[in-house]
Structures are given as C-alpha cells and as structure tokens.
Amino acid sequence: MNRQFHRCFASTSTMFLWALFLVALTASYLSFQSFVDSGSRYFSASWGGIQWEKQVRNSAQIHRSGGMLVLVTGSAGFVGTHVALALKKRGDGVVGLDNFNNYYDPSLKMARKALLNSHGIFVVEGDINDAKLLAKLFDTVAFTHVMHLAAQAGVRYAMENPHSYVHSNIAGLVTLLEACKSANPQPSIVWASSSSVYGLNEKVPFSESDRTDQPASLYAATKKAGEEITHTYNHIYGLSITGLRFFTVYGPWGRPDMAYFSFTRNILQGKPITVYRGKNHVDLARDFTYIDDVVKGCLGSLDTSGKSTGSGGKKRGPAPYRVFNLGNTSPVTVPKLVNILERHLKMKAKKKIIEMPGNGDVPFTHANISAAQKAFGYRPTTDLQTGLKKFVRWYLQYYGYHHGKRVN
C-alpha cells in the first residue's frame, strides 16, 4: 500500500498534475455554487444578468437635449404609468420599478406594464426594500431624478393590514433614500405624499402651511412620517426633495379600490353601491383631480426640482425641500359624483346611504394650489364631468363592454 502510494507520487510532475486536478475541481465547484446562487436570485427576484442590464440601459436612453434620466417607482401603478409615459414621450430616459403586489388585481398592473413596454419603457420587477437591487440600478444608470410613487395606498385597508403601510411607506422609503444618498451623482427626488396628511384639519382650502399633525388613518400617518423622513435626508445629506400632496386622483387606468372605480363596476353589474355620509347628514366631498393634471404637476415638479448637493454620502450645501398640493380646487360631493357616473353609463345606481364609520376617511378635501401655480405654473384644466367621461370610456373598453353589454 505504502509502496504503491509511493510509486504513484514518484515524480514531482505527477504530484503537480494531482495538485492541478484538485485546483480545477475546487474552481469548478465554486463556479457551480455561484451559478446556483445567481440562479436562485434570478428566479426569486427576477432581476440581474447581462440581458436585464441591457434592457435597463435601453430604457434609460435620452431622446432630447437636456433630457433627464428618471427612475419611476410604482411604475405599474396608476399615477406611475401615466408619468412614465409622459416622460418617455417628451424624450426623457425612463426606467420603471414595481413589485406587482396583489393589493388589487395584478392583471391590471400587468396590462399597464405591457402598455409601458410598447412605448419602450422597461419595468424592473422588484421591491424598494431591496437595497441590492437599488444599488445595482444606480450602478447601471446615473439617474438624475427619482419619481417615487411606489406606496401602499388606501385608507381603510390599513385596518386590515397595517404592516404593509410600514413596509412600503416607511421602510421602503428609507431604503430608497439610502440608495439615493449614496448614489453618485445623487438624484433629485419627487415623491407622492398625500392630501390625507391634512387629516382633521378644518380650515379650507388646505394650504401647505396648515397643520398636519392630526392624521385620521395609518395611511395618512405613514405619509406624514414620509414628509419628516425626507426632510432629514434633505437636511443631513443634501438630497433635493419635493413632496406632492395628491388630492383624489382619478382617470383611465385608475385604481380599482377607489370609489369612482368600484361605483362604475357595481352600477354596470346592477349591484348596490355604498355611499357614505358625514355627521348631520352632510355629504362627503372630494377635490377630485384628473390624472392628466396630476401628470403635468409631476413633470413640473421634476423640471423645477433643483439639484441634490451631496456626494459620497456627504452634504456639500443646502438643497431644495419643497411640498406642494396637487388638487383641482373644486370639491364635488359624492352623490354628485354618482350622478355624473349614472349619466355617463346611462344606468341608475342602487344607492345604500350609510353614516360614515370612523375608519380613516375625512369628510372633505379642498386644495389651495397657489404654491404649485407659482413654482411651475400648475393649473388643472379638467373638471369631474369631463374627466369621468374619459374614465368611463376607458373602463368600458378595457373590460370589454359594448353598448352597455359585456362582450368578453
């Protein structure tokens, strides 16, 4: 045995061959391991790889002089889709990011994604809580702006799933801000806050300087927290921040969890709708804002955002911190909204009128938009009647209605 062993390694050249073989074996094992790793990462998060990077870079191509490079989070969402399309159409480089969660029907998100794809916009499938993905995106593209619209929306759902609000609107926001702070160059950030931060404020119209320390829902509280959190990143790291307080945005490709959308569905299906009424039989009213007007407000905000000043994670000087209402300035009561829908759908609604439970909704909203008007000429031009007509036309077409009858 010993002699055989001795014979086997008799010469140094044989020993050298054995050593080489062992090195090769180790190397192939390691490369196999990393293949398995990247494979599992690929399937669980579906990002990364040469092809993926190419799609990201293509999507980020700029087609106008002085164009911007914008990362749009929540790009398969309602506002995100419209903003991404508008940016792309005017020649900016746009990359989308969305986690396609199932808070509402993901097939609508997939349809919006297909629409974006058809305009050359790539939507990365991933979560804003994924710091590695964000670092990779900023590594791949030197984004000049981030339009941050990814969020857990909805007021009443917060009682069902409070943690999803903390996950997206607080933890996700911080992860995104960390990535922006470390990016070189730092992007300017425009993000979606909410008119719900005004909470129980009774002074009308709602102005940006009004108190926002009486939220009526966890959703509102997380958006208010977002305003404070973004302020600290502006203060410490020199990130340019613009927070937009959206007032009940509606229109084609809208969110199915919103009243105008579910009213339309129920009226068409002959099902009753629940209309909430405030205390003392006062009708609820909302400052409904048409999507095209909000998109103009988002682009105006991006165009006037001013630069972030930090680099290498350090502040080099003061950067802008702004908050704007994006509303319509003409509140409409919910019964009036139902009335308009009935006329557009040529069908009567079966109304169940119920006193509003204390579950997060506020009785009315009304925006003072003079700050946005002054900063970037924001001027909404679509009234509820006109906007709902466009919504209904989209709804009937998207869900396959023909002369009031569903055909597929």
Ligand X SMILES: *[C@@H]1O[C@H](CO)[C@@H](O)[C@H](O)[C@H]1NC(C)=O
Q: Report the site for ligand X in 91-110 (rule: CB under 6 A).
A: none
Distance CA 398, CA 400 (A): 6
Distance CA 211, CA 292 (A): 28
Q: Are 167 and 125 in contact (CB under 8 A)?
A: no
As given in the structure block, the two tokens for residue 367 are: 């925006």
As given in the structure block, the two tokens for residue 93 are: 């480089």
- Min dist. Cβ of residue 368 to ligand X (A): 4
For ligand X, the closer of residues 12 and 209 by Cβ is 209
Q: Report the site for ligand X in 110-149 (rule: CB under 6 A).
A: none
As given in the structure block, the two tokens for residue 24 are: 């090769």
- Min dist. Cβ of residue 239 to ligand X (A): 23
Q: How far is CA 171 from the centre of its chain?
A: 14
- Min dist. Cβ of residue 323 to ligand X (A): 10
For ligand X, the closer of residues 55 and 207 by Cβ is 207
- Min dist. Cβ of residue 381 to ligand X (A): 19
For ligand X, the closer of residues 127 and 287 by Cβ is 287
| DSSP E strand stretches across 224-320 | 241-246, 249-250, 272-277, 285-286, 289-290
- Min dist. Cβ of residue 370 to ligand X (A): 4
Q: Report the site for ligand X in 297-336 (rule: CB under 6 A).
A: none
For ligand X, the closer of residues 207 and 311 by Cβ is 207
Tell me the one-letter amino acid at 367: A
Q: Report the site for ligand X in 176-205 (rule: CB under 6 A).
A: 205
Tell me the one-letter amino acid at 111: A
- Min dist. Cβ of residue 275 to ligand X (A): 29
- Min dist. Cβ of residue 69 to ligand X (A): 31
3-state SS assignment for residue 183: coil
For ligand X, the closer of residues 175 and 329 by Cβ is 329
Contact letters (x/-) for ligand X, 350-369, by CB under 6 A? ------------------x-
Give the residue numbers annotated as catalytic, written as ranges.
Answer: 219
For ligand X, the closer of residues 107 and 209 by Cβ is 209
Judged by CB under 6 A, which of 207, 304, 329, 330 binds ligand X? 207
DSSP 199: T
Beta bridge partners of 326: 246
Beta bridge partners of 189: 146, 241
Q: Are 290 and 378 in contact (CB under 8 A)?
A: no
Distance CA 376, CA 354 (A): 41
Residue 216 CB partners (closer than 8 Å, separation 6+): 196, 199, 200, 360, 361, 362
For ligand X, the closer of residues 53 and 210 by Cβ is 210
Under rule CB under 6 A, how many of the chain's residues touch ligand X? 5
Judged by CB under 6 A, which of 45, 135, 229, 371 binds ligand X? 371
Sign of the CA dihedral running 154, 159, 161, 165: positive
Judged by CB under 6 A, which of 329, 370, 383, 389 binds ligand X? 370
* Phi, then psi, of 313 in degrees rounded to 5: 75, 10
Q: Are strands 405-406 and 350-355 parallel, antiparallel or unpaired?
A: unpaired
Residues that bind ligand X (CB under 6 A): 205, 207, 368, 370-371
